[in-house]
Structure 1
Amino acid sequence: MRTANRVLLALVGLVLLVLGGSVLAVGLGASPPSWWVHQGEHDVLLTRAERTRWRGEGWWWPVVIAVLAVLLLLALWWLAAALRRRRLGELMVDTRDGEGAGLRGRALETVMEGRAAALDGVSDADVSLHGRRTAPRSRVRLRLEPFASPARALRHLTTDTLAEARAAAGLRRLPTEAHLYAEKHRASRVQ
């Protein structure tokens, strides 16, 4: 959804920028190409004839209302998709009794963050769970201290933190996307 938002906003912005820039350029005296809608700086955007051209037609107002309704529905769908919760609220844990139990996603995230932050060379950790209740995915961001080995931190994350989270939640798999960032530090001076 994030990519679709960016592409759609970029296209709408580009169209508005080109149209607005061309109208401004013509208004400031630039000579437009012969096929352009407006031909001079004293030309109006819509003439009276263009504004009232289709008013007498029976199909005009239903088409205008239908197009506006579709645009409104698309805008509402886009807003709902943008406001939808991205994080997983609850995971289903198999208790082997046929019922199952719910595990709050934020509780598991907090425990995983604590375990990951306790790893050697990790100064800060951020964990978020996404996906479905029965098939979660995790995204882990680790901020490494200057002396830390990224390979060792990743190995400990995989064998300790993620293995414990899978066992605690009763999951066979927990696909994880890990981002490792190095903490910036000043160079030490030798005297």
Structure 2
Amino acid sequence: MDHTKTNRIVLALLGLVLLGGGLLVLAGGADIYHRWNLTSPAGWPLNASGKVLIPPADQTRWTDMSWWWPASIAALALLLLLALAWLLAQRRRHPRQLTVTDSSEEAVTVSNLALSDALTTDLNLLPGIRSAHALFYGPRTHPHARISLTLRTGTTPEQVLAGLHDAVEQARRSAGWDNLPTRVDLSVARHSPHRVE
């Protein structure tokens, strides 16, 4: 299972837990159990509008203890750091150097920018392409490509598909990679209206 799918599953489960908890709090606060003659979940304290989720005795149970406030602040700080680490991990990473294999089967380190520029140049030479930009992301030994193409007006994706495939395949073979997963974002150039006098 890849990184993206794992993140989506974790986020979906977290969302379901938060949604379920929110609905339980809403049901208790709006007194839905009493109005609709429903039974609240076993042990759920918030089952009427006059009740609270955490009883006052539990709210102040440890506040007089010397360890309470430092432990609370440390736990919240740790939670914040974990959330920030997860957020930063979602950013697309593009390495400065990529490992390619030369004709003698030796690994060579090449600038990501140089390889990206070479692929971008090949893409810009394709008929029907107004502008192109390519960049490699992921591990330096097994990267994937992210390509943005702007098509000329009147050009369809089908017309550039073969040339796009050839350019990516040439980049893969030149670098000696076994595969090169590629994501392509397409857009079509729009003509700005010109005023005629």
Asked if TM exceeds 0.5, the reply is yes
Question: Which letter maps to 2:39?
Answer: S
Superposed, 1:156-175 pairs within 5 Å as: 156-159=163-166, 161-166=167-172, 168-169=174-175, 171=176, 173-175=178-180
Residue in 2 that maps onto 1:34: 39
Q: Pick from 93, 96, 108 the counterpart of residue 101 of structure 1.
A: 108
* Matched-pair contact (CA < 8 Å) for 1:146–1:182: no
Question: Aligned Cα RMSD in Å?
Answer: 3.8
C-alpha distance 178-122 of structure 1, shift in aligned 2 (>3 A): farther
SS of the residue corresponding to residue 88 of structure 1 reads: coil
Q: Please identify runs of 4+ aligned residues in structure 1 that moved more than 6 A.
A: 96-99
Task: Indicate whether 1:140 and 2:143 are aligned.
Answer: no
Q: Per-residue deviation at 1:76?
A: 6.4
Question: Which letter maps to 2:162?
Answer: R
Question: Which letter maps to 1:44?
Answer: V
Paired with 2:30 and 2:103, the residues of 1 have a C-alpha distance of 75
Residue in 2 that maps onto 1:118: 125
Paired with 2:18 and 2:5, the residues of 1 have a C-alpha distance of 20
Q: Pick from 11, 29, 32 the counterpart of residue 9 of structure 1.
A: 11
* Matched-pair contact (CA < 8 Å) for 2:28–2:47: yes
What residue ranges of structure 1 are gaps of 5+ in the alignment? 56-60, 187-191
Number of aligned residues: 173
C-alpha distance 139-80 of structure 1, shift in aligned 2 (>3 A): closer
C-alpha distance 163-22 of structure 1, shift in aligned 2 (>3 A): closer
Q: Pick from 167, 178, 188 the counterpart of residue 183 of structure 1.
A: 188
SS of the residue corresponding to residue 19 of structure 2 reads: helix
| Identical-residue share of aligned pairs (%) | 31
C-alpha distance 147-25 of structure 1, shift in aligned 2 (>3 A): same
Superposed, 1:47-126 pairs within 5 Å as: 47-51=55-59, 72=79, 75=83, 78-79=86-87, 81-83=89-91, 86-95=93-102, 100-126=107-133
C-alpha distance 104-80 of structure 1, shift in aligned 2 (>3 A): same
Q: Per-residue deviation at 1:42?
A: 0.8
Q: Using structure 1 for the length normalisation, give the TM-score.
A: 0.65
What residue ranges of structure 2 are gaps of 5+ in the alignment? 63-67, 192-197
* Matched-pair contact (CA < 8 Å) for 2:33–2:40: no
SS of the residue corresponding to residue 54 of structure 2 reads: coil
Q: Using structure 2 for the length normalisation, give the TM-score.
A: 0.63
SS of the residue corresponding to residue 49 of structure 2 reads: coil
Question: Which letter maps to 1:11?
Answer: L
Paired with 2:60 and 2:135, the residues of 1 have a C-alpha distance of 55
